[in-house]
Every structure is written in C-alpha cells, then in structure tokens.
A and B are shown apart, each in its own frame.
Chain A
Amino acid sequence: DAKTTQPNSMESNEEEPVHLPCNHSTISGTDYIHWYRQLPSQGPEYVIHGLTSNVNNRMASLAIAEDRKSSTLILHRATLRDAAVYYCILKTSYDKVIFGPGTSLSVIP
C-alpha cells in the first residue's frame, strides 16, 4: 500500500505563507498526490491534487518534486480558518486509499 510521511504538527502566523511537506518515496508512476484537510468535528474535505506538474486552485498550490518522491502544499496566506489537520495521500488506480496521521496546523493570530 502506498504510504506518505508528514510532520506531526506545524505552526504558522496568521497572514503568512505555510509550506506543508509530504514524503512519498514509494510512489508509482500512476499514483496521484492528493491533499485533504479536516477541520475540528468535521469530515475531511478535498484541497488539491496532482500527478506531475504543479497545481494551483483557489484554496492552495501544490508543488511536486521532479522525482515525485515529495510534495509541498502551499497556503499562500494562512487564516485562522486554515487551522486543521492536513492529510497527504496517494490515490492509486486500484482505489485502496490509505491515510496517515496527517499534519496538525496551528495558526497563531
């Protein structure tokens, strides 16, 4: 099963950029890199995903290393509402999706 590793926790000051790292050294060629976040007492929600190229959407940017063994989720200006657990996962063509413990992001006012 595909595995990812992330720091347990990170802190950011409000209105500053946040770079959340993820390592996935066992990634295969057809695995997509997905990011989800879970706010307190809610189900996880989709943030962004990509295969090889960097991706941008209204919520965040995803930077994927050239060898695809790591990626970084970038929140351009952290707000208090961005305080959540962020999960980096690999989604495979055979659809067995494993979550790790994620990174708990704290945003300091």
Chain B
Amino acid sequence: IAGITQAPTSQILAAGRRMTLRCTQDMRHNAMYWYRQDLGLGLRLIHYSNTAGTTGKGEVPDGYSVSRANTDDFPLTLASAVPSQTSVYFCASSLAGGNGELFFGEGSRLTVL
C-alpha cells in the first residue's frame, strides 16, 4: 500500500544517546516534513525539505538534524537526546507547492529519560 512509513513506532531512550527516526514515502513527493507534538498541544515544524538535496529549518530545529539524500527518505537525528525532546514525532510528505495535500505517518513516540 502506497504511503508514508515511520520507524520506530515507539522508543525509550537514555539522555545523551543518539537516535535516528526514519521516514520513508513511496509517493514520489518532492516535499517532506518533520513535526513534533507534545502532549495536548499542536504540531510544531522541526525541519522540512522541498526536494532531494535541500533542507530547511522550521520553528524548533535546535537539537535535531535531517538529511535528504533521495526523494523517498527523510531521517531525523537527535545527536544527543535530552528529556525535553520527549514527544510524538510525525513525518509528512506532499507534492511541492501550495496545492499539494499533506500525508502524515502514524507517528513515532519517543521518551527520553
């Protein structure tokens, strides 16, 4: 089934450890995004990418890095996790431009102790 896949679904991580959240889409979408959603709050944009090879900072980029080596994959890396990065992380993709509908993954729940 075509769509967007995130992994892992859930992870508990010790503070200071490195973690990469994976996101893959098979819809050949140009644009991809990473959001975090803290309990009871809305979505905040971490990083985004308009096309393979380019990335941009969102609202809350500090402590996170991304890469976009190809169209399908958009991993999010926490170099040294801190407890404030405990959150649910959503990856999304869309065709580039304002007319493109956003498709979201199921989310990755990350707990940093």
Interface of A toward B, CB cutoff 8 Å: 1, 30-32, 34, 36, 42-46, 49, 51, 85, 87, 90-102
With CB as the reference atom, state the residue of chain A lying closest to B58.
Answer: A96
- What is the interface of chain A mostly: helix, strand, loop, or mixed? loop
Contact of A101 among B41, B56, B97 (CB under 8 A): B41
A102-B106 in contact (CB<8A): no
Q: Which 7 pairs show the lowest CB-CB distances between chains A and B?
A: A32-B98, A43-B104, A99-B43, A101-B42, A91-B98, A95-B31, A46-B101
Number of A-B contacts (CB under 8 A): 69
Q: A87-B43, A94-B50, A95-B96 are in contact. List 11 more A-B contacts (CB 8 A).
A: A42-B106, A43-B90, A43-B105, A91-B99, A91-B102, A92-B98, A95-B48, A96-B58, A97-B48, A98-B58, A102-B42
**Hey, which chain A residues are within 8 Å of B45, CB to CB?**
96-99
